[in-house]
Structure 1
Amino acid sequence: MSHSPRIHPTAAIDPGARLGADVSIGAFTVIGADVEIGDGCQIGPHCSFSGPTRIGPGNRFIGHVAVGGEPQDKKYAGERTELVIGQGNVFREFVTLNRGTGGGGGITRIGDDNWMLAYAHVAHDCIVGNHCVFSNNTTLAGHVTVGDWVIISGFAGAHQFCRIGAHAFLGMGALVNGDVPPYTMVGGNSLGRPRGINSEGLKRRGFDAERIAAIKRAYRTLYVAGLPLAEAREQLAAQAQGSDDVRLLLDFIESGERPLLR
């Protein structure tokens, strides 16, 4: 049985591209030089891939996807930068994924098993974790970091340099201009605000009642008790002694450079 790539006759593949075994490439797709596509990737019609870009195995690009384009940053001067994608991701129609910038670390990185639905945009120097869902028209500005198991609803987005912690949930249309702590739900409709914890998502991922109760207590300390941030951090430090989940939340807060979304 042949494991050679299956390439539609109308596709254009640069000789400098590297294609793994069992790759399929649809009609009118263009793959440029210095693009590496892992085994078993499925690429639909009318996609474009620019390098340097490295793509792991088992990814699906449904159609009209633009991968590895130059960063949309006026400071970019043609320096060598990369886009790195893990494995098992799905990218729906018209998703755009940009390479990094020299001043921003040089790499845009996307992890494993993410779903990016139609018209989602990941800008330069973003870091996206694993098992995330970006709904239609999700937009990340440059230098945004997204943790694992994050769900972003349609037409939502993040300001440049913001961080979105693991297991967070952004509602439809939510626009965030500060760091979103792990486990937090952000309300939609224009400027997003914290609206509790993502308890339903945590239950689906196997968090038991005791863990969820500890996270709820930490959320109330941070957002409901009316404490100054410094005092809230002291109380969270005490709560973290008995909870790895609260420790994750506290570490996120203490490592931030942007203001916390409050």
Structure 2
Amino acid sequence: MISASAKIHPSSIVEDGASIGDNVSVGPFCHIGSRVTLADNIEVMSHVSILGRTTIGAGTRVFPGAVLGAEPQNVHYKGEDTELIIGSGCTIREGVTMHTGMPDAGGKTKVGDNSLFLAYSHVAHDCHIGSNVILSNNVMLGGHVVVGDRVIMGGGAAAHQFCRIGHHAFVGGLAACSNDVIPYGMLNGNPGILGGLNVIGMTRSGISKSDIHAVRRVYKMLFSGDAPINEVLKRIKPEYQGVEVLEDLFEFIEADSHRGLSSAAKARRN
């Protein structure tokens, strides 16, 4: 169904079955597949392909050359019905690619609200991206990567499949995330080395100075010594019960992981 208020350029193809909301604009030479749902007030510029079972939230802007909802780049994909879900208010710049999921991993690639994807960044199958995220030019996410809210990744950074990048983390340009990055962490280099905390990002998000100081104290205790991080965490965790800003950090460290944690300690061993 195409809303009467939608504007579709005559050179574009919208397949039967697509759902196009109010005040949607589709520019020239675009291809909108039959299982695509575009919410209200979306702008799709020229030469954009939106394929597969893809849903895009209201107010998102898609710049020329983007390909959204194509099949996963995975040799095990056999045409199963999987999907891509993109939130509201996102900006998707030139040449960005986002793929649908794999059936053995839930079948969904998800992107939150108000995120910015700069030119030629790539979101692979089964990634789960939070809200208010920025992926700079040429950022590459392998399959199954989880990116928390308010993460910023610099140009050319890459994340190995199954990596987790915690909320409010900062990943520098050309950095390689081979292991998980803790919430609030700041990763640089190849291989990626945890070099401190994203204090600027925390401040901009409205986190109080007292909470920032609490995270700093815990960070130093976790990563400055030679003892295993989980042992240190067990020792200090009771002291910080009820400190909300640390709860996600503790849960992140204790959660099961395919990749292990990035840490400054790894730099000393290399």
Q: TM-score, normalised to structure 1's length?
A: 0.96
Residue 267 of structure 2 corresponds to which residue in structure 1? none
Instruction: For 2:144 and 2:242, locate their aligned partners in 1 and report how far apart those are by CA, in whole Å.
Output: 33
1:174 maps to 2:175: yes
Question: Could you give the per-residue CA deviations for residues 74-110 of structure 1, whole angstroms, max 9, x where no partner exists?
Answer: 0111110000111000000000000001111100000
Deviates more, 1:85-94 or 1:3-12: 3-12
Identity over aligned residues, as a percent? 42
Question: Could you give the per-residue CA deviations for residues 21-46 of structure 1, whole angstroms, max 9, x where no partner exists?
Answer: 00000110011110000100000000
Residue 219 of structure 1 corresponds to which residue in structure 2? 219
Alpha-carbon offset, residue 242 of structure 1 = 4.4
Instruction: For 1:171 and 1:226, locate their aligned partners in 2 and report how far apart those are by CA, in whole Å.
Output: 26
SS in 2 for 1:191: coil
1:26 maps to 2:17: no
Alpha-carbon offset, residue 3 of structure 1 = 5.7
Instruction: For 2:236 and 2:42, locate their aligned partners in 1 and report how far apart those are by CA, in whole Å.
Output: 44
Instruction: For 2:239 and 2:201, locate their aligned partners in 1 and report how far apart those are by CA, in whole Å.
Output: 22
Alpha-carbon offset, residue 225 of structure 1 = 2.4
Residue 62 of structure 2 corresponds to which residue in structure 1? 61
Instruction: For 2:160 and 2:9, locate their aligned partners in 1 and report how far apart those are by CA, in whole Å.
Output: 39
Contact 2:194 2:262 in 1 (8 A): yes
**What is the one-letter code of the residue matched to 1:127?**
H
**What is the one-letter code of the residue matched to 1:116?**
F
Residue 99 of structure 1 corresponds to which residue in structure 2? 100
Instruction: For 1:75 and 1:41, locate their aligned partners in 2 and report how far apart those are by CA, in whole Å.
Output: 33
SS in 2 for 1:216: helix
Matched length: 260
Deviates more, 1:69-78 or 1:248-257: 248-257
**What is the one-letter code of the residue matched to 1:154?**
G
Instruction: For 1:3 and 1:31, locate their aligned partners in 2 and report how far apart those are by CA, in whole Å.
Output: 17
Alpha-carbon offset, residue 226 of structure 1 = 2.5
Residue 268 of structure 2 corresponds to which residue in structure 1? none
Gaps of 5+ in 2: 264-270
Residue 206 of structure 2 corresponds to which residue in structure 1? 206
How do residues 5-24 of structure 1 correspond to structure 2 at under 5 angstroms?
A: 5-24=6-25
Contact 1:6 1:23 in 2 (8 A): yes
Alpha-carbon spacing, 1:28–1:239, altered in 2? closer, same or farther (3 Å): farther
1:261 maps to 2:229: no
**What is the one-letter code of the residue matched to 2:241?**
Q
Instruction: For 1:177 and 1:16, locate their aligned partners in 2 and report how far apart those are by CA, in whole Å.
Output: 41
SS in 1 for 2:241: helix
Instruction: For 1:156 and 1:88, locate their aligned partners in 2 and report how far apart those are by CA, in whole Å.
Output: 24
Alpha-carbon offset, residue 223 of structure 1 = 1.2
Alpha-carbon offset, residue 230 of structure 1 = 2.6
How do residues 36-185 of structure 1 correspond to structure 2 at under 5 angstroms?
A: 36-185=37-186
Contact 1:169 1:186 in 2 (8 A): yes
Gaps of 5+ in 1: none
Residue 266 of structure 2 corresponds to which residue in structure 1? none
1:234 maps to 2:234: yes
Residue 246 of structure 1 corresponds to which residue in structure 2? 246
**What is the one-letter code of the residue matched to 2:23?**
D
Q: TM-score, normalised to structure 2's length?
A: 0.94
Instruction: For 1:50 and 1:66, locate their aligned partners in 2 and report how far apart those are by CA, in whole Å.
Output: 8
Instruction: For 1:121 and 1:152, locate their aligned partners in 2 and report how far apart those are by CA, in whole Å.
Output: 12
Instruction: For 2:158 and 2:257, locate their aligned partners in 1 and report how far apart those are by CA, in whole Å.
Output: 19
**What is the one-letter code of the residue matched to 1:198?**
N
Q: Over aligned residues, Cα RMSD in angstroms?
A: 1.2
Residue 195 of structure 2 corresponds to which residue in structure 1? 195
Contact 1:179 1:256 in 2 (8 A): no
Alpha-carbon offset, residue 136 of structure 1 = 0.3
**What is the one-letter code of the residue matched to 1:60?**
R
Deviates more, 1:230-239 or 1:138-147: 230-239
